[in-house]
Structure 1
Amino acid sequence: MAKAITQIEQKRKSKQEERSEDLSAIINQIADNREVIQDTLIILQELHATGVLDMLKGLLRTREKVGQIAIEQINQPGMHNIIKNGMNTIGLLAEMESDQLKAMFSGLNTGLEKAAESAKTQEEVGLWGLMKSVRDPNVRTSMNTMVNFLEGMGNGLNQQKTH
């Protein structure tokens, strides 16, 4: 008959063996992610070259003071309005159709260019010139757009009054 096993010997690794295995695992991870690590190092070099890394270090070293200043600035009454206005602006942009906004900005940009050109020449338009320009299809389109805009804005303002 066999003898019962009463004592089990566990082989324990020495600290040196554990460290060796840990280093081997880290080296394997580095080898597996070589490209990512190289990209990260390039990014860090660029941040260092531009001084951003130094700014971040300074920011982290003085984070309590910076946080305190930020809280003080946010607690000013004007900041509450800025935050509310920003949120309202984001809401407005979310409601707008992108194609319509693009068309309006394109027209605005072209109009600003034309206005800048006429400001350079300092050309004055008399009453006869104004009457003549009303026959221009571009001016009529713009005036029609502005009248419709004013009508829609008035409609929106009146709806706000009733709510």
Structure 2
Amino acid sequence: MAAPITMIKKHEPTKAELQQQKLEDLQSLLAENDEALNQILKIVGELNDMGVLEAANSMLQAKEQIAKIALGQVTREPVTNMINNLMSAAGALTSLDPETTTKLVNSLTSGLDEGNKHLENPKKVGIFDLMKVLQDPDINRAIGFGIYFLKGMGQGLKED
């Protein structure tokens, strides 16, 4: 009978064996993807011919100065005002009902179309024309909306 196994010897590859295995893996990967590598090398060659690689390298060398300039530009008052306004506008837009906003934008488009049609007609609008159009339900609805819009805006502008 054979002697029982009391110790298992695990094979630990040497550093040279690991490097050899990595080289073999890389060689097989290169052989499998030769077309893709050729395309990448063509692209890099074109970028080099155009001077893009040199520009990118220069930007990497000057990254601290570029960051300083960019930070200086972003912290200017007009830029910070713009960022604050965008954030305020985004906050206001999130509080609006999307259906109402869609309806308002569609109404605005229809109004612009009708306004453009009127511009083609050289006839002046007189006082009696204004009195007569107030009876039109569409115009009356728009004027009422405008009046109450202005009232709400005025209430919002009121100082406490």
TM-score band, normalised by the shorter chain?
0.5 to 0.7
Q: 2:95 maps to which residue?
A: 95
Q: What amino acid sits opposite 1:124 in the alignment?
A: K
Give the corresponding residue for 1:35.
Answer: none
- CA distance in 2 between counterparts of 1:59 and 1:146 reads 57
- Residue 119 of structure 1, CA deviation: 2.6
Aligned-pair distance for 1:123?
A: 4.0
| 8 Å CA contact retained: 1:134, 1:140 | yes
In structure 2, give the amino acid aligned to 1:83.
I
Residue 13 of structure 1 aligns to a residue in which SS? coil
Alignment of 1:105 onto 2:102: no
- 1:34 aligns with none
The amino acid that maps onto 2:107 is: G
1:121 is displaced (CA, Å) by 3.8
> 1:20-35 residue pairs with structure 2 within 5 A?
21-22=21-22, 24=25
Unaligned runs of at least 5 residues, structure 1: 32-37, 49-53
Q: Where does structure 2 lack aligned partners over 5 or more consecutive residues? A: 47-51
Shift of 1:134: 1.2
The secondary structure found in structure 1 opposite 2:124 is: coil
Task: From the superposition, tell whether residues 128 and 77 of structure 1 become closer, same or farther in structure 2 (CA, over 3 Å).
Answer: same
Using the size of structure 1 for normalisation, the TM-score is 0.62
Q: How many residues align?
A: 137
Match of 2:133 in 1: 133
TM-score, normalised relative to structure 2:
0.63
What is the rounded CA distance, in whole Å, between the counterparts of 2:65 and 2:108 in structure 1? 44
Larger Rg: 2
Q: Which residue of 1 aligns with 2:116?
A: 116
